[in-house]
A and B are shown apart, each in its own frame.
Chain A
């Protein structure tokens, strides 16, 4: 199963450290720009839409729907499903789908975030609701 996989620890940097600190507490964060109101992912200090530096951290619901996916059947570490989730808050995020029957994934399916451990901060994944 994909769950048994060993995931690399994020390296982190000053721009994204708060995301990983929150992940350690099981919280999934996005960034929102207070100038244009848009949320984005992965987090940047400068808003990629309006270039304002007035971006703030926001805890996301962790809920969303599958935009697309592909089940990778040929892999030395076993099959895994990569895809994008469109969060309730708007942004789409790249992820893997875990803790489920990978053959039954569907575009539009509701999913929620789950964190998986690494040697550093845990990484966000998604699983069907």
Chain B
């Protein structure tokens, strides 16, 4: 049993807003849902599967009601919550449900307003008394990974900076991006140290916004007027300190989700023309590229240097919308926008200055939670038909 080729992404929508103090969170969900449904050329009454994560106010049942979905038709719901990669996991789960005949038109939504100061609540885990006082934040949790990666492999701040430089080269063409100025390695190194060894420019932006997807059957996708993009491989995995045994913060759960996805797709990293890689921080990208097999463990620094991730310049164009480092990071969750830019590339709808030629195979990969503490990862491999 495989989901290879069983589900197509027929609709995508990224909210253009980066700051939405005048809108409600539920409203943003509705606006992205409407956008994706219209992009596919469908009606909201066609939707029979709904997927959302912890950012959806109240969870699935209030959202299904608020969105006015057709409850006589809706027959599959999934509110898997794995932080920023929730939506990449949802994509895989939607494909599973579609392959099993449990739904035929799935809607996945993400939206929220962290820039306005609204964050979804999160329940405490069993570790709370043993960790919460130590002030783990995204910055320092990823800083701990970078510190150890530098110690073990000699990775440098200059190499990490190249990831931000590449993102900025792409963001200059995105009119919605929060940061559109092209920056240099020196700019990154000269930006203030936030949590050693990560500088401000090693960190992604904080933005309001959201995005949505429509996932459907091959038959329905082919009946619509949009270019055909299908899911051919998917993987998900989790990693944590596991009782403190053999702690190793230099790799992520992508070492498991990636190979699962590539095996299902029947391709290798060398075949990938475009990569959407979650970029909460520069170190996130570097570790995930290694974990996915684009280079050997420990060689990520060399791999990302000298513009290798810049479209039209390097071997692996990545995050051509500017990514989380420059464009947006709705709800502090980067998974949704990773899928959306990958679909744009496969459709040939990316900005002409960053569009990858003959882009027929793309990867969208992300993590959720804290790489330096405990996290999930998910990998999706997409193909233009």
Contact = CB atoms under 8 A, between A and B. Distances in A.
Interface string A81-109: 01110110011111110000000000100
A90 B195 contact: no
A49 B241 CA distance: 12
Given A38-B245, A82-B140, 8 more contacts: A10-B129, A11-B128, A11-B129, A42-B127, A67-B249, A70-B139, A70-B195, A74-B139
B245 to A, nearest CB: 6
Contact of A84 (B144, B146, B196): B144
A125 B195 CA distance: 19
Nearest to B244: A91
A94 B240 CA distance: 12
Nearest to B198: A70
Contacts of A68: 144-145, 147-148, 151, 249, 372
Contacts of B146: 70
A75 B196 contact: no
Interface of B: 126-137, 139-141, 143-148, 151, 192-198, 241-245, 247, 249, 372-373
- 5 closest Cβ contacts across the A-B interface? A91-B244, A70-B143, A40-B243, A42-B130, A92-B247
27 contacts: A7-B133, A8-B133, A10-B129, A38-B243, A42-B127, A42-B244, A48-B242, A49-B243, A67-B148, A68-B144, A70-B143, A70-B197, A70-B372, A71-B195, A72-B139, A74-B192, A82-B134, A83-B144, A84-B247, A86-B244, A91-B243, A92-B244, A92-B245, A93-B244, A94-B134, A94-B136, A118-B133
B193 A73 contact: yes
Interface residues of A, number: 39
A48 B130 CA distance: 16
A19 to B, nearest CB: 8
A102 to B, nearest CB: 9
Q: Which of B139, B198, B373 has the most CB atoms of chain A within a 10 A radius of its CB? A: B139
Contacts of B241: 84, 92, 94
Given A11-B129, A72-B135, A107-B151, A41 B144 contact: no
B170 to A, nearest CB: 27
Contacts of B135: 72, 75, 80, 82, 96
A12 interface: yes
Contacts of B136: 82, 94
Contacts of B195: 70-74
A52 interface: no
Contacts of B148: 67-68, 107
B150 to A, nearest CB: 9
A107 B139 contact: no
Contact of A70 (B132, B140, B151, B192): B140
A20 B128 CA distance: 13
B244 A40 contact: yes
Given A82-B135, A91-B244, A70 B196 contact: yes
B248 to A, nearest CB: 9
